[in-house]
Amino acid sequence: MASLKKILSFYCRFTPSYSAIGYNSRRLLWRRPKASFSGQTWLVTGGSEGIGAAAAKAAVKGGARVICVARDAQKLQAFAESVGVPGRIACEVADFSLRDQVWALLARLEGQGLKFDVVVDNVGIQKRDQILTGEGLETSFATNILSHYLLVRELLRGGMLTDRSIVIEVSSGGMYNHPLVVKDLNITGDGYLGVRAYGLSKRAQVVLTRHWRETYAGTGRDFYVMQPGWVDTASVGRSMPRFRAILRPVLRNHRQGADTIVWLASERPRQADVESIWFDRKERGVHIYAHTPKSPDTAGDLVALLEQYSQQPTAPVVLA
What is the pLDDT at residue 314? 59
What is the pLDDT at residue 245? 87
Residue 191 Cα to chain centre, angstroms: 25
What is the pLDDT at residue 134? 94
Higher-pLDDT residue of 146, 320? 146
Beta strand 282-284 with 277-279 is antiparallel
What is the pLDDT at residue 320? 44
Give the angle subtended at the CA of 125 by the CAs of 120 and 126, to the nearest 5°.
Answer: 140
> For residues 198 and 143, is the Cβ–Cβ distance under 8 A?
no
What is the pLDDT at residue 319? 46
Question: pLDDT tens, 171-219?
Answer: 999 999 999 999 999 988 888 999 999 999 999 999 999 999 999 999 9
> For residues 60 and 88, is the Cβ–Cβ distance under 8 A?
yes
What does the buried/exposed string (b/e) look like for 233-270 if buried means 16 or more CB atoms within 10 Å of the residue's CB? bebbeebbeeebeebeebbbebbbbbbbbbbbbbeeee
Average pLDDT, the chain: 93
Q: Which amino acid is at 105?
A: L
> For residues 147 and 99, is the Cβ–Cβ distance under 8 A?
yes
pLDDT at 68 over 90: yes
